[in-house]
Chains A and B, each alone.
Chain A
Amino acid sequence: MASSARLGLAVLAIAAGPLLAACSDGGPSPTGAAITSPPPPPVAAPPPPPPPVSSAPTFTAGVFEASGEFEAQCETPRSGVDIEGNGFPDEPGSTLLENFWLRSWTNETYLWNDEVVDRDPAGFNDRLAYFAQLRTFAVEPSGEDRDDFHFSEPTEEFLARRNSAPSASYGYSLLVFSNTPPRDYRIRYTEPDSPAAEAIMGQPQFQRGTRILEVDGVDLVNGGATQAEIDTLNNGLFPATAGETHTFVVQDPGAASTRTVTITSADISPKPVNRFSVIDTPTGKVGYLLFNTFSPFESERDLAEAMSSLAAEGVEDLVLDLRYNGGGLLAVAAQLGYMIAGDAQTSGRTFELLRFNDDAGNVNPVTGEFNSPVPFYDTGLGFSLVNGAPLDSLDLPRVFILSTAGTCSASEAVINGLRGVGVSVILVGDVTCGKPYGFYPTDNCGETYYTIQFQGVNDQGFGEYADGFVPEASSFGFGVRLPGCVVADDINTELGDTSEALLAAALTYRDTGDCSPPAATALAKLTPQTAYRGAEKGALATTAATPAEDFLNNNRDMRMPY
C-alpha cells in the first residue's frame, strides 16, 4: 500500500520536474522566450491510483467513509481505455468494496440521503440489488413514488448511447394507439427536410396523423402472424441503415382512400426546432415555435435563430410548443427563458438553483464546486453559438405553453423558471411529466448509476412539482395548477396549423381568457405510445418509457410482445 502511494507521488514529480524550469511569475518571460515545454501527457494512462484500503471495511450504521476510499475497487476491473479514449481507473477489489462505494456515494450526493435506510453492504452479493435499496421509498400525495428515477446501466452502453451517430430513419416520429391487432400506427410528426417530409407531386410522403396500413406488402393492422411477417414489418418501419427503400400503404387523416408511399431511409438527426411561424391575428402577431429537444448542442443555435426571427417580426405573444420535449440542457432552457422574458424581467435573477441534500451546504457535492445559481443566460455559451454572442428577446409578460405528459424536465424548468420571475405561463394541453430532479450519471467499476442528486428551484425557491404542472380545469387532483386549458393532443391536424386543437385553444384563450368550446375537448380515451424497436424477438413495436422521444431516437432495435 505504501509503495503504491510513493509510486504515485514519484510519477507526479517526474511529470512536473522538467517544466518547473519554465515557470514564470505570471508576467512576461525575462528572456522573452516562448515556453518550450513538451506537450502534456495523454490522459489515457493515469498514474497509479491511491492505495486501496488495507482490509475489508466494516459496517457501522450511520458512519460513512468518503466514497473516494472505495472508488474503482472492482470485483471485475477493466483495463485499457473506453470508447472516448479515457483510461479506466479500476483496480482489483470486490463486490463488498463496490457496495461500500455505493453507500458512501449515496450518502454524499443523494438528494434524500436522510431517507435511505442504512443497510450493511455485506448483506448483498449483487451490487445492483444493493443499489436498488439506496433510495427513498416515500410516496407523494398523488400515490406516486417520490423517487422513480433510480436506475443504472452498463457504462459501455452508456458511452455508446451518448456517442451514437445520427441513425437511419425516414424522419418520422410514430405514435402507437394500439400495438395488438387491429394495430394503429400514426405519424406524430416529421422532421423538416427529411425523406418523410419530402413532397412528391405536392403530397408529403407522410404527414401528421397519417395511419400506416401496410409495410412491404404485410398488413400492419391485422398481419404479423409469422416471424417472417413481423421481421418485414419491423425492418420496414425501423430501417437499420441509410439507403434502404421500403413501400408503405397509408391513409391520411380524413381521407377515404389509401395511397402508396415508397421511401428511402437516410441518416437523420432530429431538429431541435422543428418549425416556427408568425400568426397574424386581429389583435397582433403571435409567434408559434415547435421545440422538440434541448439535448443536441445545436439546440442553442437553432433556438436563438428562431427567436431572433420572431423578435424581428415583432410578435406580441408566443405559443411555445413543448408537447414532445423531454428536456436536455438546462443552460439552453435558461437561454430560452431569457429570450422569452427579456432583460428587464430576468437581470440578476435566478433561472434555476440546484438544491442538493441538506448536508451539502453551498457546495455541489458531485463536482465539489460552489453551487452557483443558473442565471437567465443572455448570451451564447459556446454549444453552437459563439460564447458571448448576445441573444435577442421577445420581452413578453406571458407565454402560452403547449404540453403533454411528454413535456418533461428541462421543459418544466422553463415553466418554473419563468414563473419564478413573474412571467405568466398559460398551460394548454395535459399535465406535464413532473420531473423537477436531475442527476450526474456516475460510473463505478463498469456500471453507470443514476441517482437523484438535485431538485431545481426557481428564483422564488420553488420546485415542488413532482406531480407536474396542471392546466387549471384538469380533473387531476394533484400537481401545480396553472391557468390554461385541458385539451387532447390533436393527432389529425398538422402542428402549427391554427386549427390544431392545442394551438387553437391557446389562441382562443388569448382572445377570450377562457377555454370555450370547441377547444376544451375531453382528453382522448386512447393513450398513444411512442413507437420504438423492442428488445424481444418475434414481436412488434412498443411501449415507450420516458423520455420517449430520446428512446426512439437512440434505440434502433427494440421490440416487444403483443
Chain B
Amino acid sequence: MVLDMNDVEGLRQGDRSCFENIFNEYSPDLYVVAYRITGNKSMAEDIVQDFFVKLWVNREKLSIYKSFRYYCFSAIHYASLNAVRTKYRNTELSEELEDTFSIEREMEQAELSEKIRSALDSLPEKCRIIFLEACVEEHSYLEIAQKYDLSVNTVKVQVSKAYRILREKLTREQLFIFFLIFLKSE
C-alpha cells in the first residue's frame, strides 16, 4: 500500500487532502469487502460512506491497535455484518463471516485482487472476455459458446488458457516485486 502514516497523522490533524488520499486508497477495497458481505451495491456504498464520515468526525479520537489498514477492514467488516443482520433478521450468517480471522483473509484477498489486475489486462481480448464471463459473471460454458458462436470446448480451452497466462503474469509480477524489494534492501 502506498499510503504512509503521514496521511493518517495528517488526518488526525484535520488535513483534508490526507483524508482524500486515504479515501482514494482504501475505499475501493473496503467497498469490495462490504459488497462481498452484503451482496448489495447500494448497501456497500452506504457502509463505506458512513465509515469515512465517522473516520473524519472522530479523527482526533482515532485509536489504532493493529494497523490503520486493519482498523479500516475490521470496521467495514463489522458494519457490514450489522447491516446484513438488520436487513435479514432471520437469516443465519455463515460461520466464515462471524470469524474474526476472515478480516485478515479479506485484507490478503484485497492485495491479491490488485495484483491480478494487470495480469487480467494482459490477457488476449477474446480470452479475457470469455474468462470474465465464465468465472466472474458465472455464465455457463454453453451460454458463452452460444453467445459467441463457439464450441463449448473452445470456451473451456480459452478459460484454461486464461488461468495459465494469469499464473505466468502473476509470477512475473511477483519477480518484479521481489526485485524491487531486493533493490530497496541494497
Q: Do A and B bind each other?
A: no
Seen from chain A, the residues whose Cβ lies within 8 Å of a Cβ on chain B are none
